[in-house]
Amino acid sequence: MAVDSKHPETLALHAGYRADPATGAVAVPLYQTTSYQFQSTEHAANLFALKELGNIYTRIMNPTTDVLEQRLAALEGGVAALAVASGQAASTFAILNVASAGDNFVTSTDLYGGTWNLFANTCKQLGIEARFVDPSDPENFRRATDDRTRAYYAETLPNPKLRVFPIAEVAAIGRELGVPLIMDNTATPIIARPLDHGAAVVVYSTTKYIGGHGTSIGGALIDGGNFDWEAHADRFPLLNQPDPSYHGAVWTQAVKPLGPIAYILRARVTLLRDIGAALSPFNAFQAIQGLETLPLRMREHNRNASAVAAFLAEHPKVSGVIHPSRQTGELRRRADAVLRGGHGALVGFELKDGADAGRRFIDALKLFYHVANIGDARSLAIHPASTTHSQLSAEDQAATGVTPGYVRLSIGIEHIDDILADLSQALAQA
Ligand code: PLP
C-alpha cells in the first residue's frame, strides 16, 4: 500500500499504487496486455515455480487488476484479493476453493437469484451440496454442519427482505466448528466490513456499487487472512494436502514466507488458471475509476435512500416500506451494529393495490430506469413479481419476501428533489 491510512476515502484513491514506475502516470494505467516479457529463462522458471512473484499471463494476473485487488483488500481490512470476471465467478470460486464432490456448505436462503441457481443446481451437478437454512436463527448453521461442511455463505444485506445477516453470530459458530464464513458484501461496500465481524472471506460483484456507473461486469474475492486453515487440516484437504496440479504444493505451507494467503493464492493459481474467469484489464480499469469515488457515492446513496424510505412511509398508496431504517428490535440493533454511516441504497415498498399497481408504477417512471441491476449511480426500479421472481409460485415468492405489490428501488445519487418528484408522479398513476 502506498499510503498509510485507515480511512476509506483515502484508501480508495491511494491504496496499492503511487505513480506508474515506468511512466510516472498518476492515474492507474490500463495494462491491456496478455503477456509479459521474461527477463531470462531463470526468471521465467522462478515465476512459474512461484519462487518469485511476478507477471506471467493476464489470465492469472495483471498490473491494472493488481491495483484493484490491493485497494479492495485494503478497504475490507483483508490481506489479499483476487479479481474475477463477474460476481457469479467470485461466488463460484469462493466455494470451489474449499469444496469437492461429496462435500457440502451451508448457505442462507436469503440470496441473489443467480447465486441461488448456482448453489442449488450447478454446485449439485458438481457433487457439492448446498444446505439452505433460514438465517433468522443463527443456530440453523450449526445444525446443518457435519464433518464434510466446508463453508458458510450469506449476503450482508440481502434483498428483497433487507435484513442484515447475523455475521458475528454465524462467524462465531463457524470458528467453533472450524468452518469459515464467506460474505457477499455486494450491496454494502464501505458501509459494512464483514471481516471486522469475524467473516473469513468477502465476495463482491464489482458490477454494482464499486464500478458504480453500470458499465462493466466484474467480481472479487477478499481473503481476511484470519482463518486458520491449517488448524482444521481434515476439513480443508484442498489447502492442506499436496496439490497434484502444482507439483505437490501444500498451500498452507507454501505461503508461509508470504503471509496468511493460502486461500486466495490457491484460488488464483489453480481456479483462475484452470477455469479462466479472468477480469479483463479494461474492466479492472473501470472498476478502479468507480472505486475512487465509492465512499463519496455511498454517502449520497445512503442519504437519498433514507429520504426515500421516509417519503414512502407517509404515502397513502404504500402499505409497507422495507428498509433498515424502518426496522425495530433485534433487526435494527444488528443493522446499526453492521452498517456504518447509512443503510445502503436499496429500498423496497409494497403497494396497497398489488401487482397491477406495481406494473403501473414502473411503467410511469421517467427518471428511474427499469432494470434488473442494482448499485448504479442512477436510480433504478423493478417489480420483482412480474420479472425476477415471476417463475416462482406465489408461495415461494412470499417466502423470498416478494409480495405481488412489492417494488424494489436502488436509489441513485441524483438530486433528492428529482428522485422524490419521479416517485411521486409514478405513485399518482399506480
Ligand atoms: N451478488 C449479488 C448480491 C448480486 O446482486 C449480484 C448480481 O446481481 C451478484 C452477486 C452477481 O454478480 P454479477 O452480475 O457481477 O455476476
Cell of 211: 464500478
Q: At what angle do helices 416-429 and 294-313 cross, to 10 degrees?
A: 40
C-alpha grid cell for residue 57?
499471463
Answer whether residue 289 is part of any domain.
Answer: no
Report yes or no on 39 lying in a domain: yes
Radius of gyration of the chain (CA): 22
**239 falls within a domain:** yes
Tell me the DSSP string of 298-310.
HHHHHHHHHHHHH
Kindly report the CATH number assigned to the domain that includes residue 321.
3.90.1150.10
Pocket flag, ligand 1, residue 205 (CB < 6 Å): yes
Among protein residues, the one with the nearest Cα to ligand 1's atom 5 is 112
In a domain, 26, yes or no: yes
Compute, in angstroms, the gap from residue 205 CA to the centroid of ligand 1.
Answer: 5
Cβ of 211 less than 6 Å from ligand 1? no
Domain that holds residue 187: 8-282
Q: What's the number of domains the chain is made of?
A: 2
Same domain as 326, residue 192: no
Q: Is the CB of 188 under 6 A from ligand 1?
A: no
- CA 358 – CA 351 distance, rounded (Å): 7
Residue 193 C-alpha from the chain's centroid: 11
* Whether residues 64 and 195 fall in one domain: yes
Question: Does residue 207's CB lie within 6 angstroms of at least one atom of ligand 1?
Answer: yes
- Closest ligand 1 atom, CA of 158? 3
Specify whether the CB–CB gap between 74 and 1 falls below 8 A: yes
Q: What is the domain-level CATH number for residue 193?
A: 3.40.640.10
| pLDDT score for 392 | 77
pLDDT for 2 equals 58
Q: Are residues 180 and 302 in the same domain?
A: no
Both 275 and 304 in a single domain? no
270/309 same-domain check: no
pLDDT in tens, the chain (430 residues): 457 899 999 999 999 999 999 999 999 999 999 999 999 999 999 998 888 889 999 999 999 999 999 999 999 999 999 999 999 999 999 999 999 999 999 999 999 989 999 999 999 999 999 999 999 999 999 999 999 999 999 999 998 999 999 999 999 999 999 999 999 999 999 999 999 999 999 999 999 999 999 999 999 999 999 999 999 999 999 999 999 999 899 999 999 999 999 999 999 999 999 999 999 999 999 999 999 999 999 999 999 999 999 999 999 999 999 999 999 999 999 999 999 989 999 999 999 999 999 999 999 999 999 999 899 999 999 999 888 888 878 887 777 888 899 999 999 999 999 999 999 999 999 9
Residues 320 and 276 in one domain: no
Domain boundary among the residues 235, 258, 282 is at 282
Residues 249, 306 within the same domain? no
Q: Measure Cα distances from 235 to 151, 170, 177, 280 in Å.
A: 10, 18, 10, 34
Distance CA 416, CA 393 (A): 36
Q: Ligand 1 test: best mutation among 186, 209, 216, 382, most atoms within 8 Å of CB? A: 186
Q: Which residues pair with 102 in a beta bridge?
A: none
- Distance, CA of 387 to CA of 134 (rounded, Å): 24
Last residue of a domain, which of 282, 309, 327? 282
Looking at the fold, whether 381 and 247 belong to one and the same domain comes out as no
Task: Determine whether 228 is exposed, middle or buried from the number of CB atoms within 10 Å of its CB (0-12, 13-18, 19+).
Answer: middle
- Quote the ligand 1 centre to 266 CA distance (angstroms): 23
Neighbours of 5 (CB within 10 A): 14
pLDDT of residue 1: 45
Angle, helix 281-292 to helix 63-76, in steps of 10 degrees: 40
Give the pLDDT of residue 110: 93
pTM of this prediction? Answer: 0.96
pLDDT of residue 401: 83
Burial class of 320 by CB neighbour count within 10 A (0 to 12, 13 to 18, 19+) = middle
pLDDT of residue 12: 98
Q: Which helix (H) or strand (E) holds 66?
A: helix 63-76
So what's the pLDDT on residue 145? Answer: 98
Q: Is the CB of 119 under 6 A from ligand 1?
A: no
- 327 and 385 share one domain: yes
For 14, the grid coordinates are 491511494
Does one domain contain both 236 and 274? yes
Whether residue 315 sits in one domain with residue 356: yes
Amino acid at 369: Y
Q: What does the pLDDT read at residue 265?
A: 97
HSE of 149 in the Cβ direction (CA atoms, 13 Å)? 24
Residues 314 and 274 in one domain: no
